[in-house]
Amino acid sequence: MKIPIKELYLLSIALMCFSNLSFAQVEATNEIQSKVLFQLVEQNVRVQPLLRNATPFVKGLTYVVLVEKSGDTNSSSASKRGRLVMQPGDIANLSASTQNLLKGEKLTVDILVYEKDTILIHQNSKEYQLKEVNSQREAVNFFDERISGIVIDNTKTKLGNDFYNEYYNRYQQLYKDNKETAYVEETPPIGRTTLVTVKIGNREVFKARTQPGYDYLDNLVKQALARTELYLKTQKNNINSLKIY
């Protein structure tokens, strides 16, 4: 049976509209999300951007974090660019920075996320003044829901950052579903060593001095993960005991 040209034309238009509508609905419910955490650290403000892949797809992304400080007397700006591959549901800590901020001065943080280096798919801008900065541990619901697998980097040196990176990568493999936020913190270095602390929520689970060398670092991270495992198992057992009684 032949379809009249006019009806065929109208049918093609209808199919195009349906296709565009379906695509728009998918795009509206799947997105890249970002958040910026602020924390006072010894009279300075630590800026920690976070990125979340809320899509059902693996994403190869390029990000740019712009941090600008402005006030009555001076202003400054800095930018950091990086690449990462995110699995569905992944949350990534982007480039953190520490800013000396006086009362009345303002920080503006811009997060730009690209696919294929040039296609802008997400943009977020946040402004904060010193009076608005709160403790990191008060900000649990980063994306308006309880998320898991977060490890916050509060290190200050390369040794501390190396420990954080190794701990974070292995933590993501083992405890990605843990709802409590983990923190890797560091005290000022003494000589060639530095003191790192791992906390789960507000509970300290591991503390030790780092030293240069991968073998030493690898062993230290294994110890920290063993203590983390012990703490999480104890917490789980306590919860189960409460349910029984």
Q: What is the pLDDT of residues 1-55, one digit of tens each?
A: 444 544 544 444 443 443 333 323 333 335 898 888 877 666 678 788 888 888 8
Q: What CATH number does domain 31-137 carry, 2.60.40.2420, 3.30.420.40, 2.60.120.10, 3.40.50.360?
A: 2.60.40.2420
pTM over 0.85: no
CA dist 135 and 133 (Å) reads 7
Domains in the chain: boundaries: 31-137, 148-245
Give the pLDDT confidence score for residue 133 in this predicted structure. Answer: 46
CA dist 105 and 130 (Å) reads 7
Q: What is the CATH number of domain 148-245?
A: 3.30.160
Contacts of 162 (CB under 8 A, 6+ apart): 210, 217
Give the pLDDT confidence score for residue 14 in this predicted structure. Answer: 41
Radius of gyration of the chain (CA): 23
Beta-bridge partners for 203: 200
Contacts of 128 (CB under 8 A, 6+ apart): 36, 38, 106, 107, 109
Spans of the chain below 50 pLDDT? 1-3, 5-6, 8-29, 132-146, 242-245
